[in-house]
Every structure is written in C-alpha cells, then in structure tokens.
Amino acid sequence: MARRRHVCYLAAMPDDLPPATPLAPADPAVLGLDAAALAEAVRFAQAHETPWPRDLRAHLEGGHFEPPPDNAILGPVAPRGGPAGMILRRGRVAASWGDVRRTDMTFSVAKSYLSLLAGLALGDGLIADLDEPVAARVRSPQFEGARNGAVTWRQLLTLTSEWEGTLWGKSDVIDRNRDLNREGKARKGEARPLRAPGTFWEYNDVRVNALSLALLHLFRRPLAEVFRDRIMDPIGASRDWAWHAYDTARVTIDGVEMPSVPGGGHWGGGVFIGAEDQARIGLLVARRGRWEGRQIVPESWIDAIADPCPLKPDYGLLWWLNTDGARAPAASRRSLFASGAGGHVTWIDPERDLVSVTRWLDPAAFAGYAERVVAAMRD
C-alpha cells in the first residue's frame, strides 16, 4: 500500500536565531554525586533498552495501540534511535549517554508541553479560569451542545472531560476504556456509556487533541510557533526539534489555514526532539518557570500542574505525579514526570534539584534506574 507523504508544519526557524546554549557540565562530586554509582545508573539505562523495534511505522501499523482500521497513521513517523539520556543536578550536567541531540518521536511527552502552553494562555488572560467552559472562549463546533459545551479547561487538562466526538478522522471511542497497563495488546475501543464531564478519568488522545485545538483558537497561531517563540528560543534550545500535525488536522482561523498539533504520536506526528532540548524544558520546570532571571512560564502554573486530580491522584495537569510512590519508589513524592510510550521520561525531582531525561528506556526498568540515580546522591 502506498504511503502518504507527511509534511512538517512547524514554521521555518528564523535565520538570525543564536545557536543553542550549551548545558554546562560539572564534576559529579561537585554536584554531590558519587561518580561510580552514577556511572552504574547510566549503565543500567543503556542495558535496558525498550523492547520496541527500531521501525516505528511497522510497529504502529502492526497494531501496538489498536487494530485496523483505527491504527491508520495520519502524521509523520520516523525510525527510532538508541537509548539516550541526561542527568542534571543543580542545573549542571552530571552525566549523559547516547546521542542526546538526535530528534526522535516522544509520544505523550507532548501532552506535558501542551500543559505549558495552557499555562501561558492562563498567564496571558486568554483563559480566565480553568473551571470556565471552553465554549465561553472558543467558538468551534467541537465545543457545542449539552455535553461538549459544558467541558472545562481543567477537565481537558486532567483527562476527565468525557468529551465526545470525532476529530481529524479519529473517534474518541478508540481510546475509551484504554488500559495503560496493557499497552502493546491491541484492542478495539468500546463505546461505554459516557459519564458527566468531570466525573471519570480516562487516558484519551482524541480528547487531548481537542484541547490542542482549543488552545490554537486562543492563540490564533500555530502552537508549534508559540512553543518556539515563548519557550524554546528563550531557553536556548536547538533548531532541530519539530511539532508535526496530522495531514487531516487543519483549521481556518482569521482566514488563515493552520495546523492543529496532537498531544502524542499515537497516530504519527507529535513532538520530535532530542534529549538535550528536553532537559532544558525539564530544567525550566524545575526552576519554577524561570530561565536566566526571566519568568517564561507563570510560577503559579508550576504549582498547578502538580496538583493531584481527585479522580487520579498520580496525575496533575497533563503531568504524571509520584504522590503514592508507585511510579518510582526511590523518587521524592513531589516528583513530576513528562512520560511517553516507548520509554520516554523527563523526571523532575524538586527535593533533590534533579532533572533526568531517559529516551527509549524500557518502562519496566524506570523504577530501577531511578533507584540507582538516587543511590548516587551524597547530599
């Protein structure tokens, strides 16, 4: 079957941008880390590569998430690289491994990036209150009617919206009853009876994509451009990353056709980025939204994303939490995680002034990796 040619809809980078600012390395001992124990954590990460094959297109088309026809790819997909990662302590690089500048798919890590964009929208006054219905600010068919018209920003950000519909050719039914513990065992979505918005938690990519569309209506320019101008450029990121839309995801705003980016790579597309740029984003969050004296993301938003959802205490505003220690027993209970299928985790541990990025690490091995990182700390 002929494959469609996908296009990257991130606007071209300006020619006058400065090169990426290097993240400064430091001797582990200066950062309060035992070098030998830290090296063991790195070896562990390198030795526990994700079981996913390098050919990601074949993996997704083979039904990793769901069987045909719901598994149809709508956006770009690229072969993956090998394990890579970085460990930062006190804002300095203590260790790195693999190709940390290679741009790879990140899957649901993009959800946490959408959360940062929502924080910008709230800070700009484009969102007045997270508990306000999206329909109060966004005039779009996707947020009309008794159900969808009542959905709030907070419900979209906590995955409790129960939004119903088809967006960009994908129905929310595909991800109904999705069990994250059974990823890799393709199943058909079941049209279970919907609950009232705000009363049921469910990991549903179509509903996250509805949030992305709503944010696009607020900013009235492609979210990849907003993310570049408001976050990535100010923190000295590279020019290599991109946020790809589906071929079907187009909307006209103010007479201009724009892409609406997804919050994952479930059906292709999403954020393609290197571990070093991800470490910058993690450090921005660890520094409570500040970078070199400038407040990039409202500080209040950093608190908001870590507020547990009452229906899912280990989930905040599109960020995973460690409130019960289940994700990583060795990590502090205040830890935040931007996590994506296939083994992508940005781990922020504010109690230890730690930022870790792991790429293509077997998810089953993450807790063991975190235990070894913590064991390397001497103060």
**What does the pLDDT look like over 157-214, one tens digit per residue?**
999 999 999 999 999 999 898 766 655 555 666 778 999 999 999 999 999 999 999 9
Q: What would the pLDDT profile of 267-326 be if each residue is shown by its tens digit?
A: 999 999 999 999 999 999 999 999 999 999 999 999 999 999 999 999 999 999 999 999
Q: At what angle do helices 35-47 and 366-375 cross, to 10 degrees?
A: 170
Instruction: Identify the pLDDT of residue 11.
Output: 38
The predicted pLDDT at position 153 comes to 98
67 vs 256, which has greater pLDDT? Answer: 256
291: nearest Cα among 234, 368, 362: 234
pLDDT per residue as tens digits for the range 118-155: 999 999 999 999 999 999 999 999 999 999 999 999 99
Q: Binning pLDDT at 50, 70 and 90, where does residue 3 land?
A: very low
According to DSSP H, which parts of the chain are helical?
Answer: 35-47, 56-61, 109-124, 153-157, 205-219, 223-227, 275-286, 299-305, 366-375
Which tokens go with 233?
């450029």
pTM over 0.85, yes/no: yes
Mean pLDDT of 223-229: 98
Q: Which of the pair, 60 or 8, is modelled with greater confidence?
A: 60
Strand partners, 88: 93, 355
What the block records as the tokens of 200 is 């049921």
The 10s digit of each residue's pLDDT in 251-272 is: 999 999 999 999 999 899 999 9
- Is 18's pLDDT higher than 60? no
Sole residue written with tokens 């910058």: 280
* Angstrom distance (rounded) from CA 292 to CA 290: 7
pLDDT at 177: 80
For 283-295, the pLDDT digits (tens) are: 999 999 999 999 9
Token pair, residue 181, equals 């513990």
> Are 237 and 277 in contact, with CB atoms under 8 Å apart?
yes
Question: What is the rounded distance in angstroms from the CA atom of residue 298 to the CA atom of residue 127?
Answer: 13
CATH topology of domain 28-375: Beta-lactamase (3.40.710)
What mean pLDDT comes out for the span 68-78? 96
pLDDT number for residue 1: 33
Cα-Cα-Cα-Cα dihedral of 28, 368, 175, 80, to 10°? 60
Report the percentage of the chain scoring pLDDT > 70: 91
Cβ atoms of 97 and 90 within 8 Å: the answer is no
pLDDT of amino acid 178: 74
